[in-house]
Amino acid sequence: MDVTNAAELWDRVVGSQPEPSPWLVAVTGVLALSLVVHRPAWLLARNAITIAHEGGHGLVALLSGRRLDGIRLHSDTSGLTVSRGRPTGIGMILTAAAGYTAPSLLGLGGAWLLAEDHITALLWGATGLLLVMLVMIRNAYGVLTVVVTGAAFLLVSWLTGPEVQAAFAYGVVWFLLLGGVRPPFELQRKRRSYGRRRASAAAGGTDSDPDQLARLTGVPATVWLLFFHVVTLSSLIGGGTWLLGL
């Protein structure tokens, strides 16, 4: 690739794209909401939330100085991230707290990029994060899920026009913001109906994230669940405000 082509590619990635029409923003939001509230669709689409959830655990583990051993994604939309380091302390606390907040915070960051009309940067950035995550996946279903998701981002960003890219990017960000709200409520409902044991089983046989955080900090798991609700709902309000241009 010569210097001119490299410069053009860089300008394409970091430059701004045309702002989509309000109806496209609204339609993609409605479609994302339908994926979240319609249970059969949610059972499939939730895989994307799991990718963000486990990716959040993994990224914060690395940033806090822990050693990331691997990530597993399962067909029932559960996941597991294994890291090594001190079993207590701020690094472990931040790693445990990152999962349920990651989809919403990623959606909030994506909403900011879209508000600044950086659609291509969002698509390429997401592709890069998925490629990095792929290196740490340790099971076949996880590899398949991440490869398919990354390929969708790459193909849309490389082969489609501005309107399709905008529709895809806004749909993804809306889904992260809306879909990030549902898992804490699901976990809360399981804990209320079946108790901690059932919630732990849903987390793959280990303690759920709030239970791990309660053990690490002494703060009750219900308080950590409330924290997850605050982060996800606040991200939805803030990100939705940016997306709608309010």
Joined tokens for residue 59? 């990224």
Length of the chain in terms of residues written = 246
The residue extents of the domains of the chain are 19-244
Distances (CA, A) of 237 to 36, 111, 113, 206, 242: 16, 11, 16, 32, 9
Query: pLDDT of 152-168, one tens digit each?
Result: 999 999 899 999 999 99
As a whole number of angstroms, the longest Cα–Cα distance in the chain is: 62
**pTM of the entire structure?**
0.91
Query: Residues of 219-231 as b/e, b for ≥16 C-beta within 10 angstroms?
Result: eebeebbebbeeb
DSSP state of 1: -
Query: pLDDT of 169-212, one tens digit each?
Result: 999 999 999 999 999 999 999 888 766 554 554 444 467 899 99
Euclidean distance between CA atoms 9 and 116, whole angstroms: 19
Other beta carbons within 10 angstroms of residue 33's beta carbon come to 15
pLDDT at 19: 85
Euclidean distance between CA atoms 92 and 212, whole angstroms: 9
Distance of CA 74 to the CA centre of its chain: 16
DSSP state of 71: E
Joined tokens for residue 63? 């940033």
Query: pLDDT of 208-241, one tens digit each?
Result: 899 999 999 999 999 999 999 999 999 999 999 9
Residue 142's nearest CA partner among 92, 49, 71 is 71
Residue 82's nearest CA partner among 204, 238, 227 is 204
DSSP, collapsed to helix, strand or coil, labels residue 81 as: strand
Query: pLDDT of 46-57, one tens digit each?
Result: 999 999 999 999
